[in-house]
Every structure is written in structure tokens, then in C-alpha cells.
Amino acid sequence: MYSVLRSILFCLPAETSHNLSLGSVWLMQKLGLSRLFAKPMVSSPLTVMGIEFPNAVGLAAGLDKDAKYINGLSALGFGFIEVGTVTPKAQAGNPQPRMFRLPEAEAIINRMGFNNLGLEHLLEQVKASGFKGVLGINIGKNKDTPAEHAVDDYLIGLRAVYSFASYVTVNLSSPNTPGLRDLQFGQPLIDLLAALKKAQLELAEKYGRYVPMAVKIAPDMAEDDIRRVAEVFVEQGIDGVIATNTTIARDAVAGLRHCDEMGGLSGLPVRDSSTTVIRILADALQGRLPIIGVGGISDGASAVEKIAAGASLVQIYTGFIYRGPALIAEAANAIANRDAA
């Protein structure tokens, strides 16, 4: 059924079909029809970052930026949903077109630019949803906020979403906000995380509840940089790392239509680089904090590959667009069966 729907949607511009698909997910949930697309999966709860997840497969940030579709997406079988990236102020993002399919490679290039309706709107949606599952909220900085003041935006975001989130993700790795990736390195990273950690502990005391904080990194780092970042995460008391965001590399899609579009590349072409980052992180961290693996997961085998490399959980996005809801159960069952073996 999904393959027929996809063939229709893929006739439309990528962002148009993206919005129509999410609207359909919302409508199916309202009509009680999500079960027509959701596939059976084994019960496979696990605890990561002190949180119990129904299964190991989550939705990566970026699909539901404004938290409009939490219940509909959850009804498809995701073990957890991550919404955002949300910025303190609403922003339109980059001019359209800004999303491009590369179907031959089961890939997408996007330069959305953190388009979202802002913190206040996102939190209204979260409250209205009444969602009781595991919810990650991904925070970022506004495009017009200078890098030297980025910490202010992240602190605003953390304080606003803290009491609504199961965990908070600090997005330092989108290639579509100028200067953002520079925050992943050296003293800027240390200063940012130190400020966020201080605020996190203050919020935990205020609300009587500790909400874990993860950092999302890029797949385009050298091995030495990955290892240094891992040590900083441990030193600063970060609770988890999400590896990885989209890549700026184009070698894997050279010659394909849209391959030269600016933005971040996701899907199958980032599978190997993401897994390599996870493997290096796992070696550097030695279990001191968990890894959430994302990038190029298109079937059960590629989900298990991330777990074998050192991830505790996985997230999907582009594979979900190409494969549909069946991928959720396939990945969750493959991971559960591996763990049971």
C-alpha cells in the first residue's frame, strides 16, 4: 500500500509531498486507521539514559519540526519521537526549493535552515497532544544569532522545553545554519556544554526530575576530532550522543541529478560514514555514555549494523520516507531478535 502512495507522492515536489504525508499521518491517526500501515513487532523494551523505551527505533528530528504530528507518528510503532529542531524565535528557513530527492541513491538533500514556528508554538502542540510516550525535543539557535551568543539561544531552548521533554537534544551539526558546526570543537564546545550542564542541574532541582541531554554531531569529523569530542562529552556530564546528522560530502552521489545542491545529504549514502563515527565513538567512550545511531538505515540489517557498531538506540528519517512505516517494525524486530540471540 505504501509503495503505491509513494509513487504518487514522488510525482510532487519533495517539500509538498513531505507536508501532505504528515497530514495523512495525522488524519489516519484521527480516524483510527494507523494500524493499516503499522506492522506487528515484538515487545522489546530497553532502558537508555535512565528512560524506558518501548523499542529501540525512533524518529529522527527534522520530520516533525513543530510537534504537530506526534500522536500520528507514534501510532505507526516508533519507540520514541524526536521533534524539532526548534529555535527560540520562529524563522522561515531558507528559500524554496530546499529539499531534493535522489531516488537512485535513496537519498535526500535538504537545506531547510531550521524552518519552524518557534518555541512557544511547539510547546503548545506538545501540551495539546497529551502524548505520554518518549519525546525528545531538539533545540538549536536562530540563524541571526551570532555564534558567540549561541549559548543564549540554547539556554532559552533548554529552559523552555525541559519540563515537557523525556530528553533534550542539542543540535550543533546541521550544515544549514552558518557557523553552527564550528560549535562542535574546542573551547566554544566546552563553554557551551558547561553552561547547558549548569542549567540542566538547576532545572532538575527546580522540577524534581532529571531530564537527560544529548548532543547531535556531524558525520564529517576526522577521527581525532571525534575522540576529542567524546572526551569533552564525558567531562561535561553529557548524557548521550546522537551520531550522526546529514553530511556535506557528495562522493557517493556524484553525477546524480541534484547532487550539487547545497545542503545536508541523508539516506543510504551516509550509512557507512555514520556507522564509522559510531564505531569510533564507542571505542572512545567505552560505555561511559550511550550512542543513538542515525544515518542510512533502510532495513533491519542496517539498523542492526548501528547496534553492532556501538549504538544503544537508532533513529530513522530518510529510510522512513523511502520505505514507509514497514521499516519501523522491520528495524525494531531485527534489533530485538539480535539482542535475544
Q: Using one digit for the tens of pLDDT, what is the confidence trace for 292-330? A: 999 999 999 999 999 999 999 999 999 999 998 899 999
Please give the grid coordinates belonging to residue 141.
539557535
Written as one letter, the residue type at 218 is A
Percent of the chain with pLDDT over 90: 76
Q: Of the listed 44, 74, 174, 312, which one is catalytic? A: 174
Average pLDDT over residues 78-104: 95
Report residue 179's pLDDT band, with 50, 70 and 90 as the boundaries: low
How far apart are alpha carbons 211 and 238 in whole angstroms?
11
Give the model's pLDDT for residue 155: 98
Taken as a whole, the chain contains a residue count of 341
According to DSSP, the β-strands at 51-53 and 46-48 are antiparallel
Would you call 174 a catalytic residue per the annotation?
yes
Q: Is the peptide bond before 97 cis (omega within 30 degrees of 0)?
A: yes
- How confident is residue 27, by pLDDT bands cut at 50, 70 and 90? confident
Say how many C-beta atoms besides its own lie within 10 A of residue 29's C-beta: 18
Instruction: Tell me what the mean pLDDT of segment 230-235 comes to.
Output: 95
Report whether 43 contacts 24 (CB < 8 A): no
* Whether the predicted pLDDT of 334 surpasses 70: yes
Question: pLDDT tens-digit profile of 195-227?
Answer: 999 999 999 999 999 999 999 998 988 999 899
Question: Taking the model in full, what pTM does it have?
Answer: 0.94
